[in-house]
Structure 1
């Protein structure tokens, strides 16, 4: 079963959220952001992965700067947009399932922030990333000042953000911002969608534990993290997912995680 709208599509266990469209010049489309937040909140057991994408020539070229300039109170306007975006980023972080980004063309400003917010970002030869905030005299949003240092290290993040460095696909992959590169730009969307579908068929309870443990590791001591891993392992061993995984391994068959949590 599949359901579709301009911004939200659910198919093969994947919740696909379109964040930019050609009609809006591939700037961040807040109709898509708001729809994505609602879809994440409403997602049921039929959803096992999230795919972030854009429907135009770019993943997301950043904020609508012309729109910023057209409003009377720019401070209030940008505050509200950032707040709306951050509700979405928090929803992605809280989701118990993996988040994949299909990064074709440019990911600039908030677009780059959303790439950094994904668990796995897939790009192609023509993928480009840029903070873009200094270019318009603004400061980062979308969590970039938190996620980018954790991906590339604090010193490199400072350099990239302060100098507004444009990263090509090879450098973004070397730094770990892009986890995978395809051989052609035309293959990015399909490769990311195939990955999301594969994850959606996988052990969802395991993915939830992995994401939770990775998130807590940012502030936990090693001893605290070891305790958290022990507790998660014990819980997993008695869960339907854990039992199916172990039983399948012993039976030398592929595990079937469908319908398990």
Structure 2
């Protein structure tokens, strides 16, 4: 594992930390390779029940590595292949069957904003800033933002954020639904890890099925109800459901509890 990305697994929670503080955790080739390696390890370890994405030293991710981009000197086919190689691990993150929480402190710009959007939940500090800065560089948003952002803020607002390339402060990001919770700067990672830890006691089947259903996108009512029936039938037969019902009937507290705010 490269030092550009740190992976720590504690009690079922994997914390993935972007570790290029001198470059504000910009996504250079080594960092991208490290993220791909993290996905390999997380996917293969079923004891990992939730993932936290974080950045080191007061920055989540400043976006792409512009020095590396300028030095690459690729033609159209080369840039397309470069993007597809990044999409290979990004699509695995987006479709991961476990909860993913982004802990955002400081800037989440460009592809860093897109990376935060790939999480199921975003916990941020008041000094977090979000910006799809691509238009400033004559580029289009990437890293899945075309898919994720409109689902959160709607098409019109997504167009505005993409085409204006303006910075979104933490409070506005929360109002738009991009951020789930704002917490003090020194509590961001701890709160994200507490949310992740709650999923260690959740039904992995239920978590997976909810994520898969919502990722499938809009469908007609009949299709949605059919999907719902199929998913619920699987859950009714699961050991997690039977154990949870047993605890309820025995008047024991449920194992899965969403953590209260601090």
Tell me the TM-score normalised to structure 1 length.
0.89
Name the structure 1 match of 2:177. 176
Write out per-residue CA displacement over residues 26-63 of structure 1, whole angstroms, 9 at most, x where no aligned residue: 21244343333333334322100011111132100000
Answer yes or no: is the 8 Å Cα contact 2:2–2:34 preserved in 1.
no
Once residues 190 and 232 of structure 2 are traced to their aligned partners in structure 1, the CA distance between those partners, rounded to angstroms, is: 34
Deviates more, 1:81-90 or 1:52-61: 81-90
Write out per-residue CA displacement over residues 162-209 of structure 1, whole angstroms, 9 at most, x where no aligned residue: 111210011100111111110x21211111122112222322221111
1:130-209 equivalence runs, <5 A:
130-182=131-183, 184-209=184-209
1:18-167 equivalence runs, <5 A:
18-42=17-41, 43-73=44-74, 75=76, 78-167=79-168
Once residues 173 and 151 of structure 2 are traced to their aligned partners in structure 1, the CA distance between those partners, rounded to angstroms, is: 14
Shift of 1:246: 1.5
Deviates more, 1:33-42 or 1:142-151: 33-42
Name the structure 1 match of 2:260. none
Does residue 242 (structure 1) correspond to residue 229 (structure 2)? The answer is no
Tell me the TM-score normalised to structure 2 length.
0.89
Answer yes or no: is the 8 Å Cα contact 1:13–1:201 preserved in 2.
no
Answer yes or no: is the 8 Å Cα contact 1:7–1:32 preserved in 2.
no
- Closer, same or farther: CA 201–35 of 1 in aligned 2, 3 Å: farther
- List runs of 5+ in structure 1 lacking aligned partners: none
Once residues 77 and 24 of structure 1 are traced to their aligned partners in structure 2, the CA distance between those partners, rounded to angstroms, is: 24
Deviates more, 1:117-126 or 1:246-255: 246-255
Name the structure 1 match of 2:8. 9
Once residues 111 and 150 of structure 1 are traced to their aligned partners in structure 2, the CA distance between those partners, rounded to angstroms, is: 18
Does residue 251 (structure 1) correspond to residue 250 (structure 2)? The answer is yes
Once residues 29 and 72 of structure 1 are traced to their aligned partners in structure 2, the CA distance between those partners, rounded to angstroms, is: 15
Once residues 240 and 249 of structure 2 are traced to their aligned partners in structure 1, the CA distance between those partners, rounded to angstroms, is: 14
> Structure 1 segments of 4 or more deviating over 6 A?
none
Answer yes or no: is the 8 Å Cα contact 2:108–2:129 preserved in 1.
yes
- Closer, same or farther: CA 78–180 of 1 in aligned 2, 3 Å: farther
Give the superposed CA RMSD: 2.1
Count of residue correspondences: 253
- Closer, same or farther: CA 80–22 of 1 in aligned 2, 3 Å: farther
- List runs of 5+ in structure 2 lacking aligned partners: 257-262
Once residues 247 and 228 of structure 1 are traced to their aligned partners in structure 2, the CA distance between those partners, rounded to angstroms, is: 27
- Closer, same or farther: CA 35–69 of 1 in aligned 2, 3 Å: closer
